[in-house]
Amino acid sequence: MVYFLALAAGLWVLGWQLKAPPQARWIMIGLLYLCILAALAVVPDGHPLQRAIGGRLAEWLVLGLLAAAVFGYRSVLSALKRRARRPADEPPADTGRFRPEELNRYARHIILREIGGPGQKQLKQARVLVVGAGGLGSPALLYLAAAGVGTIGVIDDDAVEGTNLQRQVIHADERLGMPKVFSAETAMKAVNPYVTVRPYNRRLTEEIAGDLFGDYDLVLDGTDNFDTRYLVNRVGAAKGVPLVAAALTQWEGQISLYDPARGSPCYECVFPKAPAPGLAPSCAEAGVLGPLPGVVGSMMAVEAVKAIVGAGETLAGRMLIYDALFGETRVIALKRRKDCPVCGAGET
């Protein structure tokens, strides 16, 4: 039996090196077990092969029955856990059909002429990635989940801190120290258990951005550093994925939709270079009004819904600037730059 265990371990390691799924590795070990049974069935008692393998046919059959019982128990237990976590009347994930509870949940959307049933189905089938689960990401994520966006990804490598709770409403005091993406997932599933949340507890980097963006229809950028903003814009433009980006400072916020694949400027058309250090201090350095991210982050969710269902006029080619201190809103026109290294024609 020692030889069997050694061979089984070798097959498992070989499958791991070949990146075979666990199911395929168990099948290889099962085939090895069947070969041993076949060999023991044809050799007489006391045969050297029987001694080399270790144990009689009956003993190996008992071992197989015990293993089958263990695997059966684990399979039934996993099925029960999945069933307990699944909302009632859940249809297959790829059909786009609504459960009865969802029709009631989204009724106020469905009666809107600009959304209706077809638009709500588009929301259910949409995949939106939110970069950053902080001040802007918090309201955007909550409203995307409440609106019924079917698949929502969120990427952030920070953990919840006490200073976040003044404005990052998706997090809670009892989740201090928890990675923000998992805290956000908890809050989003509490708002709407019928959406799929994909938390990525890591920093967005050049190495992963391309593949990650390829899985989504729309990206929302609520980060607070220019390196990430330029990375998000560059990869989004290369992939042809529309980008809703916003920024805050003290009492003021700005938001636009950047979609050069459909003729509008990209972020780098508007901001060719990052400001010099100190000219654009972060929220931690300059402070920020607590409700301000809620206003601008909710606008991001509005723009996302409009872009998905094709309602109204988006902020593509325009930037909305909100001044909370004086209660003013301004909209300015944006144009593409021919010399933009991201989306321009290369002309100077």
Measure the CA–CA gap between 296 and 280, rounded to whole angstroms.
18
Whole-number pLDDT of residue 70? 75
What token pair was written down for 271? 């901001």
Q: Does 344 map to a domain?
A: no
Whole-number pLDDT of residue 274? 86
Do 161 and 296 lie in one domain? The reply is yes
Higher per-residue pLDDT: 344 or 326:
326
Q: Does 347 map to a domain?
A: no
User: pLDDT digits over 147-159, tens only?
Assistant: 999 999 999 999 9
% of the chain with per-residue pLDDT over 70 = 81
The DSSP call for residue 250 is: B
Do 139 and 72 lie in one domain? The reply is no
Measure the CA–CA gap between 334 and 63, rounded to whole angstroms.
72
Measure the CA–CA gap between 72 and 78, rounded to whole angstroms.
10
Do 46 and 187 lie in one domain? The reply is no
Helix (H) or strand (E) holding 124: helix 116-125
Given a contact cutoff of 8 angstroms between Cβ atoms, the answer to whether 142 and 222 are in contact is: no
What interhelical angle do 22-42 and 2-17 show, nearest 10? 150
Q: Does 37 map to a domain?
A: yes
Phi, psi of 268 (to 5 degrees): -75, -20
- Looking at the predicted structure, is the pLDDT value of residue 109 above 80? yes
Whole-number pLDDT of residue 106? 96
Given a contact cutoff of 8 angstroms between Cβ atoms, the answer to whether 312 and 328 are in contact is: no
Ranges 194-198, 203-207, 271-275, 306-310: which has the least confidence: 271-275
Measure the CA–CA gap between 258 and 173, rounded to whole angstroms.
35
Q: Does 113 map to a domain?
A: no
Whole-number pLDDT of residue 90? 46
What is the SS3 assignment for 274? Answer: coil
Domain end (from 29, 59, 85)? 85
Give the residue from 236, 302, 299 showing the smallest Cα distance to 269: 236
Confidence of residue 20 (pLDDT cuts 50, 70, 90): low
Do 44 and 133 lie in one domain? The reply is no
Do 70 and 174 lie in one domain? The reply is no
Mean pLDDT on 64-68:
78
Q: Does 120 map to a domain?
A: no
Ranges 80-84, 96-100, 262-266: which has the least confidence: 80-84
Number of domains the chain contains:
2
Domain end (from 85, 117, 136)? 85
The DSSP call for residue 162 is: G
What interhelical angle do 116-125 and 292-309 show, nearest 10? 110
Helix (H) or strand (E) holding 267: helix 267-270
Do 141 and 66 lie in one domain? The reply is no
Do 17 and 151 lie in one domain? The reply is no
Whole-number pLDDT of residue 314? 95
Confidence of residue 88 (pLDDT cuts 50, 70, 90): very low
Cα–chain center distance at 225: 21
- Looking at the predicted structure, is the pLDDT value of residue 85 above 60? no
Whole-number pLDDT of residue 15? 65
Q: Does 106 map to a domain?
A: no
What token pair was written down for 9? 């371990």
Whole-number pLDDT of residue 89? 46
Domain range for 137: 126-333
Measure the CA–CA gap between 196 and 87, rounded to whole angstroms.
12
Do 202 and 273 lie in one domain? The reply is yes
% of the chain with per-residue pLDDT over 90 = 64
Write down the pTM of the prediction: 0.72
On average, the pLDDT of the chain sits at 86
Mean pLDDT on 55-74:
74
- Which CATH number fits the domain that encloses residue 305? 3.40.50.720
Measure the CA–CA gap between 104 and 82, rounded to whole angstroms.
24
Do 38 and 167 lie in one domain? The reply is no
Confidence of residue 222 (pLDDT cuts 50, 70, 90): very high
- Looking at the predicted structure, is the pLDDT value of residue 284 above 60? yes
Domain end (from 85, 108, 141)? 85
Q: Does 266 map to a domain?
A: yes
* Distances from the Cα of 23 to the Cα of 15, 66, 296, angstroms: 10, 19, 47
Whole-number pLDDT of residue 289? 94
Confidence of residue 19 (pLDDT cuts 50, 70, 90): low
- Looking at the predicted structure, is the pLDDT value of residue 347 above 60? no
User: pLDDT digits over 180-190, tens only?
Assistant: 999 999 999 99
